[in-house]
Amino acid sequence: MADPETHAKIRKNDIYGLSTGSSLITAALIAILCVAFIALTKNMQKPGCYRRPYNASQLGHEVLLDDGSHQFRIVVVTDLDKSSKHPTEENQWQSFIEFGVLTVNKEYTEASLQWNSNEQISLYSTIAGGGRSMELSDLVVFDGNLLSIDDRTGIIYRIKKDMAYPWIYLNDGAGNTTKGFKGEWMTVKDGNLYVGGLGKEWTTTKGVFVNENPMWVKLVTPEGSVEHISWVSEYKKLRSAVGIEWPGYIIHESVQWSEIYRKWFFLPRRASKLAYTEAGDEERGTNYLLVASEDFSNIKYQQIGPLSSARGFSAFQFVPGTNDRIIVALKSEEKDGLPVASYITVFNHEMGHILLEEVPLFGRFKYEGIAFV
């Protein structure tokens, strides 16, 4: 039998062992909780984490006529430039939206348009930058809403009926400036909104380099968080594909992402192998269609219809139900900085077939956005 001193030593060792084991378990639990907390915090900081499902529903619906023709309701929006200032209201700027019906025959070989002159809507805003505002540059249906962007203030508006509600503000370049982003095109990719600018270096009116701010793209989530992405390399690859290098340039105002092709589609406004000048730019319209793989490693191009040096693409959309083969596009024309006319055309880019030759829209306005509603 052990003596009392031995019993005391055994009890002391047992208590010490139990205490040490408990400490190790506690330390392990604390470490696990810390790791879990850090992982959770990082995931919560990701813009795409735990967000509600993207609303992929469209505002417009195809109507099938008795003869098999396909009918769609469309809207177009104006960029009135300096004329957007309201003629009588001191602190108000405006833009117009027009409504029409696009009809494509059963065989998808011909198209026609009918405009509703009684359905014009005026949109107003009192938010301006440098005394200018509501120079709306594109239309897109995103997360169940019709959006447009003002290329003067960088504000994206939600359009509901006859109202334009400011949603988010985009600043220029990498997001570290106080100047509004001159957004020219918008498209939806994988549930996010992509907003782009002119896609060329910002220069003086005589072509002297200033910065690369227009060569940045904004990725906007449905919740409105913004990521600034440099597309300098991507834009340079596009112009190289058609044999253009700096100081030559391409101006982009109409870009779409095709979920069906998983490719980027570009219909540029203007292109030139010469340096940019304000005077010469108005006669450098293009008829290019560029199609780029998702990572821009492969770029192909073709020419759509006859070239008119005064006209260039300002917006386009894929016609619903055509597997992104048929495009409806706007072209615009300016002289001495003032709009001369806008045109609309429909074509099958795979077959190179024109369903509707360029038809002028009413008025001496510059239309820069089109959408199906």
Known binding site for Ca(2+): residues?
137-138, 184, 253, 314, 368
Known binding-site residue numbers: 137-138, 184, 253, 314, 368
Rounded Cα distance between 139 and 183, Å, is 11
* Cβ contacts of 223 within 8 Å, gap of 6 or more: 47, 51
Determine if the peptide bond prior to 360 is cis (ω within 30°). Answer: no
Q: Is 258 helix (H, G, I), strand (E, B) or coil?
A: strand
**What is the dihedral sign for C-alpha 336, 238, 299, 254?**
negative
Q: Is 271 helix (H, G, I), strand (E, B) or coil?
A: strand
Q: Which of 315, 371, 320, 301 is nearest to 345 (CA)?
A: 315
Please check whether residue 297 is in contact with residue 248, taking contact to mean a CB–CB distance below 8 angstroms.
Answer: no
Q: Which of 221, 243, 295, 303 is nearest to 264 (CA)?
A: 295
Q: Mind giving me the DSSP string for 5-40?
A: HHHHHHHHHHHHHHHHHHHHHHHHHHHHHHHHHHHH
Residue 251: CA count within 13 A, CB half-sphere: 26
Q: Mind giving me the DSSP string for 190-231?
A: TTEEEEE---S-EE-TT--EEE-GGGEEEEE-TT--EEEEE-
Q: Is 234 helix (H, G, I), strand (E, B) or coil?
A: helix
Q: Token match 């469209």: residue?
A: 58
Q: How many helices (H) and strands (E) does the chain have?
A: 3, 25
Q: Which one-letter amino acid corresponds to residue 109?
A: T
